[in-house]
Structure 1
Amino acid sequence: MDSTTHGGAVALRRPRPALAHAAAAGIDFQWYFRRRRDRDGDPFLLRFPGLGEAVFTGTPEGAQQLFRAPIAALEPPRPNPIEPLVGTASLILTGGERHRRDRALLAPALHGSRVRAYGELIEESVRFEVDRWQPGTVIDARSAATAITLRVILDAVFGVGSERRAACTAAIGAFLGSFSGPLMLLPALRHGLFGRAPWDRFVAARDRLDRLLLAEIAERRGGGAGADILSTLLDTRYEDGSAISDSDLCDQLRTLLVAGHETTANTLVWALLRLHREPVVLDRLRTELRETSPAANPVELPYLDAVCQETLRLHPPVPIVLRRLIEPFCLRGAALAAGDIMGIAVPLLHSDPAVWTEPDRFRPERFLERRYTPFEFAPFGGGHRRCVGAALADLELRIAVATILARAELRLTPPLRNGGLPRAVPRGIATGPSRRVRFEVLG
């Protein structure tokens, strides 16, 4: 490996060959991050195909420095692998004054007090799926979780009526399914070939979804408002009194779809997997749910909250946080220049032995014993770019776990019942289990 000082006192080692390291990170990023930290210390360098080098930290000190960096010093790294999915106007990709302005528009619609009104809708979406499970059958957890979260997105965000549900479901499935890992990681593949290349299929699926979204927006602007998030955004105005354009709103809706659908679905799968491998934890959670009034707010149940937090600690939905520097910055002693990329390896942050005792163990009780700072526990990122949909994701996960456990008795099928845990691998912009997670429905 080569060394570089990056202009500072801390020497950062550049891995060689870079492609082999990138491949190792793609196969098992949690193992790779830990190996790099153990070998090279913190921070360390990692190269991403199509993006360039990034300097990573996985410590609370590093997270605090990154999250508290001056807003004017940072912007999202570009080109971004998910830009074709979410669009150039996406809140994920904008920076500076544009980001502040758009976030001020979007945040009220996704504030905790407002999204709690969607609790009953979320529960209905979970019941719709769970009540179809018959005793003696085997369900695929990812398929079930995806169906639940997609239904929530269609109802809570888009407000799609039953007459358009099938068309939207098909369009979203084709859109998400057509953006493969190679298209995300290798920009050179993003070229058409007489309508037959993977890129052609993705663009066609995206255009089809956009036509449905734009038609829905046009109908709402014409007076068909509802109580969903789309309607709220249409009623909200920028500081100068102007409304969001149809094109920009379409990008923000796709962002909510991409960032709020697969991420929550994968987290739900991890939660069910972890719970059904830990009988003591599962029994304690079932007891809390049985002894709680049906009218209780799931967010206020302490052990349910701890279980969800521990799932997010071990399986953060998006495992890396990236920022590109506009001006020089020092990250844990490494002097970085304008244009450099720095990031947080969230799995390292969430397993730092200086903070977390028995970091690899699923032990929800740790969240009942103490409170962790935003620089120790950051499943939704942090600072001024913390995920704007975090409140909705938290609520959805808690209601989904509680409703599934209340309405179904499940048992993991072998080999996951007692064997090793699957690795976390990329699933769109999120990460999910490398193997299929199946449950036998007992009742």
Structure 2
Amino acid sequence: MSTAAEPAGPAALSTPREPRLILLHALASGLDLERYFGWRRHRDGDPFLVRFPGFGSAVFTGTPAGAREMFRAPVELLEPPLPNPIEPMVGPASLILARDMRHKRERALLAPAFHRNRISAYGKVIRDAARAELDGERTGTPWRPGRRVDAREAARAITLRVILAAVFGIDEPRRLAEYTTVTTEFLNSFGGLLFLIPALRRNMFGLSGWERFTEARNRLDELIDTEIARRRADGGGGEAVVCKDMLALMLSTRYDDGTAINDTDLREQLRTLLVAGHETTATSLVWALYRLHREPGTLARLRTELAEAGTDLDPAELAKLPYLDAVCQETLRLHPPVPIVLRRLTGDFTLRGVPMVAGDTMGVSVHLLHSDPEVWSEPQRFRPERFLERRYSPFEFAPFGGGHRRCIGATLADYELRIVLATMIGAVRLRLSPRFARGRMPLTVPHNIATGPHAAITFDVLEP
């Protein structure tokens, strides 16, 4: 394979160079994955090979042509790689890790819960969750002038409230507080070291991070199992509940053979929804607020669009505002919450001229894909207008992955991000605290199933 800075052509037919000093490479990628991948492509061309200690190696591409090849590869040749860093969080039955016909079967079961028409019904829930945070319902202190707020904590609180309402229909204060506490403890217990180093996943007389994580997971599973049992005892909750939350819909849906999902698999699908439907959208919201408040002209244009639309606009119509949409798309371009997409091969395949065999893993670096200078002018600049000027193909812009395993919750994530961001921008005036208003952007590091800023980004609330 070519070692020049330019991507290798499809006829390269060579093996990517093996990196030396694997532990140093792993450390560099863990500290700053985006910069590491950029350096590797500059040094080795595209595609390039990366080794992850404990997880094996993968051949990565970051070009639209490479993304097209991987996302269009025959379905029967692709499966999620195992071992997988997130398996302890979501479980082996999770849709994210399901293989072969099981993936198709589980996706068909979950798909109705994520239909666009059903997602639009959550608009008021989403807007109310944002307003509750701004009113200080969680902290006891409203967002008033002079207060400093932690955007990450606020975003997580909002998105967790939304996903609990969407999945379980929870809005009663006591149950909401219980679920919030247990789910937050579960998410916070799976730190970066457990994510990146499987060798640390062991018991040490009750003193290890792994044991704290498994205890937190058990507490969450007890809540989920209790809810499943209650719903089954009520016959699934009836038609009224089916219209309200995803659990009711999943209990009422049947596989093609007429059977229902069992409790163990249902628990892991529900846990997956809590994990994947929480951190990813929260991270995107933080980055959107950060980027907007570093670009006064962009923020002013968005404020103008929101003001002209009116304060009582229906959430479904609010989410369709063109510049709001462009701001959210540009945020996802620069800060994809899941920066790499991986597939393991079950047979022979060629990725950008590199011959691969069963058992090999290939991947798309979404950061590289979203900064390809052949597609994106001034790729490092936050410029939402680019999404008003043209449409991008799913092989150029893929913040939720691609192919038959594209994130099933993408519609909900998009919808939620737009409504929450618009609600916050329209309700309060913020200013980045001095630490973040100037200088380097915070590094992106793993946070549970997603990646996000390594530091808690803070804002000061200003006079209207």
Report the TM-score when normalising by structure 1.
0.97
* Higher mean C-alpha displacement, 366-375 vs 298-307: 298-307
Identity %: 62
Residue 54 of structure 1 deviates from its aligned partner by 0.3
**Does 2:367 match 1:347?**
yes
Computed over aligned residues only, the root mean square deviation of the Cα atoms, in angstroms, reads: 1.7
What is residue 322 of structure 2 aligned with on the other side?
Answer: 302
CA distance in 2, matches of 1:249, 1:138: 40
Q: Which amino acid aligns with 2:51?
A: R
What is residue 431 of structure 2 aligned with on the other side?
Answer: 411
What is residue 150 of structure 1 aligned with on the other side?
Answer: 160
Listed one character per residue, the Cα deviations across residues 113-160 of structure 1 (whole Å, up to 9, x for unaligned) are 211100000000000001221211100110110111111111111212
Alignment of 1:98-113 (within 5 A): 98-113=102-117
CA distance in 1, matches of 2:114, 2:54: 32
Listed one character per residue, the Cα deviations across residues 216-270 of structure 1 (whole Å, up to 9, x for unaligned) are 1111112245211111111111111111111111101111111110111111000
Listed one character per residue, the Cα deviations across residues 341-375 of structure 1 (whole Å, up to 9, x for unaligned) are 00000000000000000000000000000000000
What is residue 436 of structure 1 aligned with on the other side?
Answer: 456
What is residue 203 of structure 1 aligned with on the other side?
Answer: 214
Residue 166 of structure 1 deviates from its aligned partner by 1.7
What is residue 140 of structure 1 aligned with on the other side?
Answer: 150
Alignment of 1:259-338 (within 5 A): 259-293=276-310, 294-296=312-314, 297-338=317-358
Q: Which amino acid aligns with 2:165?
A: D
**Does 2:270 match 1:232?**
no
Aligned partners of 2:15 and 2:355 also within 8 Å: no
What is residue 8 of structure 2 aligned with on the other side?
Answer: none
Question: Which runs of 5 or more residues in structure 2 are unaligned?
Answer: 4-11, 136-141
Residue 427 of structure 1 deviates from its aligned partner by 1.2
Alignment of 1:10-409 (within 5 A): 10-131=14-135, 132-160=142-170, 161-223=172-234, 224=237, 226=241, 227-293=244-310, 294-296=312-314, 297-409=317-429
* Higher mean C-alpha displacement, 324-333 vs 181-190: 181-190
CA distance in 1, matches of 2:34, 2:174: 43
Residue 112 of structure 1 deviates from its aligned partner by 1.4
Residue 111 of structure 1 deviates from its aligned partner by 1.5
CA distance in 2, matches of 1:213, 1:89: 15
Q: Which amino acid aligns with 2:52?
A: F
Residue 377 of structure 1 deviates from its aligned partner by 0.1
Secondary structure class of the residue paired with 1:214: helix
Residue 65 of structure 1 deviates from its aligned partner by 0.4
Secondary structure class of the residue paired with 1:416: helix
Q: Which amino acid aligns with 2:154?
A: A
Residue 425 of structure 1 deviates from its aligned partner by 1.2
Listed one character per residue, the Cα deviations across residues 264-311 of structure 1 (whole Å, up to 9, x for unaligned) are 111100000000010110000000001114334122100000000000
CA distance in 2, matches of 1:123, 1:222: 32
Q: Which amino acid aligns with 1:295?
A: L
Report the TM-score when normalising by structure 2.
0.93
What is residue 138 of structure 2 aligned with on the other side?
Answer: none
Secondary structure class of the residue paired with 2:446: strand
Q: Which amino acid aligns with 1:345?
A: S
CA distance in 2, matches of 1:197, 1:415: 34
Secondary structure class of the residue paired with 1:243: coil
CA distance in 1, matches of 2:394, 2:318: 22
Question: Which runs of 5 or more residues in structure 1 are unaligned?
Answer: none
Q: Which amino acid aligns with 2:313?
A: A
CA distance in 2, matches of 1:20, 1:197: 25
Secondary structure class of the residue paired with 1:139: strand
Question: How many equivalent pairs are there?
Answer: 441
CA distance in 1, matches of 2:176, 2:433: 32
Q: Which amino acid aligns with 2:15?
A: A
Listed one character per residue, the Cα deviations across residues 35-92 of structure 1 (whole Å, up to 9, x for unaligned) are 1111110000000121111000000000000000000001000011110100010000
* Higher mean C-alpha displacement, 194-203 vs 315-324: 194-203
Q: Which amino acid aligns with 2:349?
A: F
CA distance in 2, matches of 1:250, 1:135: 43
CA distance in 2, matches of 1:298, 1:257: 25
Q: Following TM superposition, where does structure 1 have runs of at least 4 consecutive aligned residues deviating by more than 6 angstroms?
A: none
Aligned partners of 2:22 and 2:51 also within 8 Å: yes
Residue 162 of structure 1 deviates from its aligned partner by 2.7
CA distance in 2, matches of 1:9, 1:366: 35
Residue 378 of structure 1 deviates from its aligned partner by 0.1
Residue 200 of structure 1 deviates from its aligned partner by 1.3
